[in-house]
Amino acid sequence: MNRDCMPLVTAAIPVYNHEKFVAESIRSVINQTYRNIELIVLNDGSKDSSHEKVLAIVEECKHRFVRFEYICRENLGVSATLNQALSMARGTYFTALASDDIALPGKIEALVSALEAKGPEYAAAFGNAKFIDDQSCQLWLSEHGVVSRVETETAYDNYLDFRTDGGSVVDYRGSNFGTFATLLAHNYLPAMSNLVKTELIRQAGAWTVGNASEDWEMWRKLSKQYRFLYIDEPVALYRWHDGNSLKVMSDKLKLCSFRLLAEEKQYCASNGLTQLWKRAYASLILPVLLDKRIALGEKLSALDCSAMSYVLSFLVKRLALKAFRIAKNDK
């Protein structure tokens, strides 16, 4: 594509303790087929040698991008880091990539082309993502996150199938992709595989500092007014390793999910979505109550009396379904 006639894209990479992966992550942006890119790398107080890994590739970045910025500072968290990158962004579009993930070469070109062909009602475009391990080898994951290094009938090789149980939870190839209703209880959108209109992120108030579910909050904000586009191809590689936030921060993510859900209660009530809100609450409360790392006081504060009858009904149905499956397997 001609750099002069295509919109500028801001690519942001928040870096935190990914010395093994950060150079590969940055190089994946260098290798994009799309040319008109500015890259902002923000080292969020890494305590390993991530800083030295970035410095080793700085000159290459300066030659590749229309603008390159690297900042190393104290730790402020992911949301604050994304907000800083947004404040520096000059691009029409914004895409963030974790410093352990990889963008496939055609990611930005494919997503820009898709969004440019759509109207102003679209805020963002998404592709899919394949799983890789800490050696960049392909992985398959079962419904419960059990890793396999060979393909099996019950394992998934991509993010959207894994997060939607093969599309049974949400038909991500359908017209409801990225709607508020489908996002209320479950964040299935791949953060490493998106491109968003920069100005709409700003209008949405950017990211809430201290929120561990920053991407889910942003998608819900935007989905209230805009549509999301899905292109059915992998555009990134999601690295599954011991340091994933889904593993090391699962208790914080659960509590943040509840706080975000509580904030949506009034919006749902005003838009005829109360039953949907209760269903979302019921699906989230059980993992919180069963998590031993979450303090009792925090569990009690998460309880919403208005939804408890729905929770009990939800629990009975889950237990009945589990009993049915056990009985069926015994036969």
pLDDT value of position 248: 45
pLDDT value of position 224: 97
pLDDT value of position 1: 47
pLDDT at 86 over 80: yes
Sheet holding 9-15, edge to edge: 67-73, 37-44, 9-15, 93-96, 194-197, 122-132, 227-239, 102-103
pLDDT at 282 over 50: yes
| pLDDT bucket at 319, cuts 50 / 70 / 90 | low
User: Which carries the bigger pLDDT value, residue 5 or residue 170?
Assistant: 170
Domain spanning 9-248, CATH architecture: Alpha-Beta Complex (3.90)
Q: What is the mean pLDDT of the chain?
A: 89
Q: Are strands 122-132 and 67-73 parallel, antiparallel or unpaired?
A: unpaired
User: Which carries the bigger pLDDT value, residue 262 or residue 173?
Assistant: 173
What is the pTM (predicted TM-score) of this model? 0.87
pLDDT, average across residues 176-196: 95
Overall size of the chain counted in residues: 331
- Percent of the chain surpassing pLDDT 70: 86
Asked whether the beta carbons of 231 and 116 are under 8 A apart, the reply is no
List the Cα angle 256/11/244 in 5-degree steps: 40
pLDDT value of position 238: 97
Q: How far is CA 138 from the centre of its chain?
A: 20
| pLDDT bucket at 330, cuts 50 / 70 / 90 | low
- The CA distance from 322 to 331, in Å, is 15
Which residues, including other chains, have CB under 8 Å from residue 39's CB and lie 6 or more apart?
11, 12, 13, 26, 29, 61, 64, 65, 67, 68, 69
pLDDT value of position 144: 81
pLDDT at 331 over 60: no
Which residues, including other chains, have CB under 8 Å from residue 317's CB and lie 6 or more apart?
none
pLDDT value of position 281: 84
Q: In this structure, which amino acid lies at residue 77? A: G
Domain parsing of the chain, residue ranges: 9-248, 252-330
**DSSP-derived 3-state class of residue 312:** helix
| Beta-carbon count within 10 A of 196 CB | 24
Residue 91: DSSP 8-state: -
pLDDT value of position 117: 96
